[in-house]
A = this chain, B = another copy of it.
Amino acid sequence: MKLEAITYQPIGMVHTPHKTPQGAPIQPTGARGAVGRAVLKPELAPGLKDLAGFSHVILLYHCHLAGQANLEVKPFLDAEPHGVFATRAPARPNALGLSVVRLKGVEDNVLLLEDVDLLDGTPLLDIKPYVPDFDQPPGPVKTGWLAGRAADAGTAKGDQRFE
C-alpha cells in the first residue's frame, strides 16, 4: 500500500495546568473545571470568527510526550492488553489526540477553555466546532471492553506508561 506522508504545521499551542502525564486526567471527564488556553498563531485569528457562539470545541492535537507506539497496549482503564486502535492511549502509530472541551470565550487569537485534559505545551493541529448533529451517532452505542469502565475516567490519573 503506497501512501504519502502528510505534514502539518501546528496552528498554535495549548496551555494547561497538567505539566506531566503522571497525575494528569486521562479524559475531559476527569478534568472538569480545569482551565486552559489555546494560543493560535496571531495571523490565524480571523479563522476564529463566529466560534464564540459554540459552547464546545473539538481539539485535534499532537500528543507530544507520547513514546513509541505499540500495537497492543495496556490502557489506563484495564489490566488486559488491547489493540491500540481499540484504546485512546496517546502512544499510537500517529500520536493524534482528540478532546471535546468547553469553550468559555475567544479573545483575538486565544481560546479560553475549560474541562481540559491536554498536557501543557501540546501542539494544536485543528479546532472544530462540536455539533451534536454531526458528532453523536443516532441509536444505541456499544463500547466493547470499555463498557462499565469508561466512567472510571472521571477519577483515573495518568502515569508514565506511554512516555
Contact = CB atoms under 8 A, between A and B. Distances in A.
Contacts of A62: 6
State the copy count for this chain: 2
B102 A54 contact: no
Given A10-B3, A94-B9, A47 B71 contact: yes
Interface residues of A, number: 75
Contact of A144 (B52, B98, B123): B52
Nearest to A128: B88
B144 A129 contact: yes
A1 B5 contact: no
Contacts of A54: 86, 142-144, 146
A29 B135 CA distance: 9
A141 interface: yes
Given A93-B11, A130-B137, A47 B3 contact: no
A133 B26 CA distance: 12
A126 B94 CA distance: 7
A134 B143 CA distance: 11
Contacts of A134: 27-29, 88, 100, 150, 153
